[in-house]
Amino acid sequence: LLVVALDPPFGRNNDKRALNVALETSDFSAGYKVGLPLILEEGVFVVREIKESTGKPVIVDFKLADIGEVMLYTTRKLLEYGADAIIAHGFIGVNGALDALISESKRRGFHLILVTSMTHKDSERFIDKHFEELLRVAIDHEVHGVVVPATKPRLINIARRILGSKFKIYSPGIGVQGAEPGSAICAGADYEIVGRLITRSESPRKAAEYVSRTQRERWVECHGLQ
Ligand code: 3DU
């Protein structure tokens, strides 16, 4: 239920590396999300390091939004460095853009995850206006999953209803951005992506344990024992 977003800086004194935080939290995490900040901070080899040390999948989140050729090159490089899943923007569209990643994901077996809405205010002005169309792109091209913010539980409900159970819903926005741990799970998400609440806490392990326990409790409350 938990994906830890490993965005630096870590810990109170900024002396922790991503790998330490990943190892401390691995008992409670289904996987890790790595973005540009971490790769610029520690280098791209951190992807394989985290994957091999924790045994958990690593999602690389560059929120790709470019022409197909450029996204494909970037993705192939990231796969070489150990990425298990790639996040791209849905709004960039399929023809000439996502089509390259969709066919590569089927060929190579990595997971493609599309952003369909974001937590920040102006997502409403632009991206959210196309929310249901973006879900449709995910369905029509059978991608692995979508990103829908935990701060917008109504959109998670809609996404779950439209997507059915075949697609994974990943929800960021827990903790620092305002949503409560377990709230997106309750609304229908499969995973909550949690960054600073865990990575900046004095004890990432304890914070991850707390989030994980709360998620499981909320799961039972909202969906019953399954
Ligand atoms: O707010 P946090 O520290 O828990 O980090 C949230 C992570 O999720 C962070 O890596 C960011 O890139 C990602 N994310 C959002 O915060 C909001 C979105 O709409 C999409 C992704």
For residue range 212-221, list pLDDT tens digits in order: 999 999 999 9
Mean pLDDT calculated for residue range 129-135: 98
Which residues, 6+ apart, have CB-to-CB distance to 17 below 8 Å?
Answer: 10, 42
> Mind listing the pLDDT tens digit for each residue in 60-71?
999 999 999 999
Task: Supply 133's token pair.
Answer: 């169309």
For residue 12, what pLDDT is reported? 67
Q: Which of 191, 193, 196 to mutate to test the pocket of ligand 1 (most atoms within 8 A of CB)?
A: 193
Residue 16 confidence class, pLDDT cut points 50, 70, 90: confident
Q: Given this model, what pLDDT does residue 116 score?
A: 98
Alpha carbons 119 and 168: distance in angstroms, whole number: 18
Please name the residue whose Cα sits nearest to atom 13 of ligand 1.
Answer: 172
Instruction: List C-alpha distances in Å: 37 to 5, 30, 42, 94, 181.
Output: 11, 21, 9, 27, 24
pLDDT tens digit string along 164-221? 999 999 999 999 999 999 999 999 999 999 999 999 999 999 999 999 999 999 999 9
**At 11, is the pLDDT very low, low, confident or very high (cuts 50, 70, 90)?**
confident
pLDDT score of 131: 98
Ligand 1 touching residue 175 (CB < 6 A): yes
Question: Which of ligand 1's atoms lies nearest the C-alpha of 176?
Answer: 1
Residue percentage of the chain with pLDDT more than 70: 98
CB distance 118 to ligand 1 below 6 Å: yes
Q: Whose CA is nearest to atom 2 of ligand 1?
A: 195
Distance from residue 195's CA to the centre of ligand 1 (Å): 7
Q: Is the CB of 36 under 6 A from ligand 1?
A: no
Residue 148's alpha-carbon distances to 102, 116, 119, 134, in angstroms, are 19, 6, 8, 11
Which residues are designated catalytic?
A: 63
Average pLDDT over residues 75-93: 98
Nearest alpha carbon, ligand 1 atom 19? 118
Q: Which two tokens stand for residue 138?
A: 């995910």
Q: Is 195 in the pocket of ligand 1 (CB under 6 A)?
A: yes
The pLDDT of residue 226 is 63
CB of 147 within 6 A of ligand 1: the answer is: yes
> What is the β-pairing status of strands 58-64 and 111-115?
unpaired
pLDDT, mean over the chain:
96
